[in-house]
Structure 1
Amino acid sequence: MTETTLEMARAEIDPEAACPIAPVVDIVFSRWTTPILWALNEYGRQRFVELERRITSITPKVLTQRLRQLERDGLVVRTYHPEVPPRVEYEISELGRSLAPLFASLAEWAAGNLEKVERARQDYDGREPLPGRRA
C-alpha cells in the first residue's frame, strides 16, 4: 500500500468504527452527566432541588438541560405529580442503572491511579521543553 493510499484509507475510516465506544463516551461522559447519573444511582429518586444540593457547582439551567438530555437518551425517568404545588422527581432508569458496573470500575481505577496521573503531570510539567516545542 502506498503512502497516498494509506492516507486515503485512514481518511475514510468512520471515527465510530475506529472507536466503537465513542458514541457511549459522548452520551455518558459529557460534562455533568456522570455526576447526575451517579447521584441518582447512589441516592435514588430525587427532586430537582435535591440534585442541585448534591451537585453544588452546577447551575439550574445546565442541570435542566442535562436532565432533559438524559431523559431523551433513556437514562433518566422524569415523573410529574399533579399536586399542589406540583412535584417532579427524577430517577435513574434501568438503562441508566446498567451503567453502574462501568461507574464502579471507573471509581476503582480512579482510586488506584489518579495519584499516578497527578505525578505524571508534575513530572511532565517540570521537565525541560524539547527542542522545537514551546513550553
Structure 2
Amino acid sequence: MKKDMTPEEYLQRIMSKEPSETCPMRRTLELLSGKWRTHILYELCKKDSYRFGELKKALPRITNTMLTSTLRDLEELGIVHREQFNEIPPHVEYSLTDKGKALLPVFCELAKWGENNLD
C-alpha cells in the first residue's frame, strides 16, 4: 500500500478486491486482537522498558497468566523484546522492538479519533 494513500483511495481499493487472508489490514487486526494486546502495547509505548511487576501494576485487572501468555505471543510476533537479567535477584524486562515502535503512529491516530469522537 502506498504511504501517501488517502482514506478515500484506501476505501476504493478495499471495495474493489475480494477478501483475502493475506490482506494487510486483516493481518494487522488479528495481530492487535485480544482483550489485552493493545493495552500492553500502549503501556510499553510509555517507557523504554518495564519489569513484569510494573506492567502488572499498570494493568491491574489482568491476571499473571494472561499477562505472561500475551507477552509471549507478542514476543513471538517480534513486537516485544524480552531481556532476562541473570543477577541476584534475577529479573526480566520487556520493551518494544522496532517493529513494535512502528505502531506508535497507529496509537496516535487512535488517540486523535478518540479526542474528536468520544465524549
Q: Which runs of 5+ in 1 are unaligned?
A: 1-12, 116-135
User: 1:4-19 alignment to 2 at 5 Å?
Assistant: 13-16=18-21, 19=23
RMSD over aligned Cα atoms: 1.4
What is residue 46 of structure 2 aligned with on the other side?
Answer: 42
Question: Which residue number corresponds to residue 85 of structure 1?
Answer: 89
- 2:26 aligned residue (22, 25, 31): 22
Bigger relative contact order, structure 1 or 2, given CA contacts below 8 A and separation 6+? 2
Larger Rg: 1
Instruction: Give the TM-score, by structure 1 length.
Output: 0.70
The number of equivalent residue pairs is: 102
Relative to its length, the structure with more helix (as a share) is 1
The answer to whether the aligner puts 1:96 opposite 2:100 as a matched pair is yes
Consecutive aligned runs of 4 or more in structure 1 exceeding 3 Å deviation:
none
- 1:10-60 deviation line (CA, Å, top 9, x unaligned): xxx55435x530111111232211111111111220100000000111111
Q: CA deviation at 1:112?
A: 1.0
SS of 1:21 mapped into structure 2: helix
State the TM-score, normalized to the length of structure 2: 0.79
CA distance, structure 2, for counterparts of residue 29 and residue 114 of structure 1: 21
Distance in 2, Cα, partners of 1:80 & 1:110: 36
